[in-house]
Structure 1
C-alpha cells in the first residue's frame, strides 16, 4: 500500500530522510571514540540508534504501520535523553567516582535495561487498559532528572577551575540541547495522548514535532565528538588558507621585487 503523499507527508519524508543520512555517519563516528576510560558517547549512540529507528518508521508511514512499536521507540528516546543529561552531570560533579565506577560493560548493561523498560511499561499499560496514562507518566519522569542535571552541571562548572571556557560551553550546550529535544518530544506526545488523539488534523502537530526532535539530537555529535569538531575546524582552516594563498603569493613576489630594487 502506497503512502499518502500529501504536502505534510512530503515535508516529513524530507526531514526524516535528511536526518537518516546524517545519523548513520554520526553513530559510526561516536563508535570510534568509545574506550573503557571514555564511555560518555555510549548513551548518545543509543539515543541516535533510537532516532534511526524513529526516522525509518516515519519514512515508511503507511496505514499498516505499527503505532505501538513506534511509541516504544519514542519512549526509549526519552529515557536515553535522561541518561545523557544525568551522565553529563556525573562527569562534572563526581569525576573521580565516575572514572573508577563506570565502564563500557556497565554502560551497555544500563542501555539494555533502558531499551527493556519501554516494552515492560507498554505491555503493562496494554494489559491494564491504561496505556495513555502510563505513557504520559513515562514521559514526565525524565523531566525533573534532566532539569536537576542541568542545574547541577551549571553549579559544578561555576566552581570548576581546571575546565576551559570552551569545554564549559560544550558541556552546557549538550545538556541544554537534551532539554530542548526532550521538551519538543515529550510535550508533543503528552498533548497528543491527552487532547489530540481523536483529532486527525491536530495530531499532525505531534508528527511534525517528533520529526524535528531527532535533528536536535544530531547536534549532540558536535558536543560529544571532539575529534569531529577538530577535524571540521582543520578543514575550515585549510579552506581559508587555500583562498588566501593567491594573495600571499602576490605579496611575496612584490616583496622579492622590492628587495631586489633595494639591493640595487
Structure 2
C-alpha cells in the first residue's frame, strides 16, 4: 500500500490595508492647468467638425433613388457628429453621465453603420 502524506499548513496571515493611500497625479499638465491631452482633443475637434460636415454634404449630393450605401454613409457621419458633440461635452468641466452615454451610443451606432456598409458592399 502507498503511503499517504497529509500536509497541514496554516495560512494564518493577517494583512492590514487600512493605512494605504492612493493618489493620482497628472504630470501632463502645464503650470496654467491646461493639459496636453486636452489640447490634442480640441485640435482634433476643430479639424474633424468641418471635414465631417463637408463629407456629409458631398455624400448627400450623391444620393440617388436606388442606392442605399450613401444613406448608410450619411448615418455613419451623423453618428460621428454625435460622438464629436459628446466629446465636446465631456471636455468641459461639468462632466455629465448623459454625455458619457451619448459617447457610447455614438460609438455603437458607428460600428453598426460600418457593418451595414460592409454588408452592402
Name structure 1 gaps, 5 residues minimum.
89-264
The match for 1:143 is: none
The 1-side partners of 2:86 and 2:34 are apart by 15
| Correspondences of 1:41-52 after superposition (within 5 Å) | 41-52=70-81
Pairing partner for 2:95 from 46, 55, 64? 64
Pairing partner for 1:24 from 17, 31, 53? 53
Deviation at 1:10, TM superposition (A): 0.8
Name structure 2 gaps, 5 residues minimum.
1-32
Deviation at 1:58, TM superposition (A): 1.4
Larger radius of gyration, structure 1 or 2?
2
RMSD of equivalent CA atoms: 1.5
The 1-side partners of 2:60 and 2:45 are apart by 22
The 2-side partners of 1:70 and 1:22 are apart by 19
Give the TM-score, by structure 1 length. Answer: 0.31
The 1-side partners of 2:112 and 2:36 are apart by 32
Contact kept in structure 2, 1:20 and 1:56, CA below 8 Å: no
The 2-side partners of 1:71 and 1:6 are apart by 24
Contact kept in structure 1, 2:73 and 2:113, CA below 8 Å: yes
Question: Paired residues, what number?
Answer: 85
Higher relative contact order, chain-length normalized (CA < 8 Å, sep 6+): 1
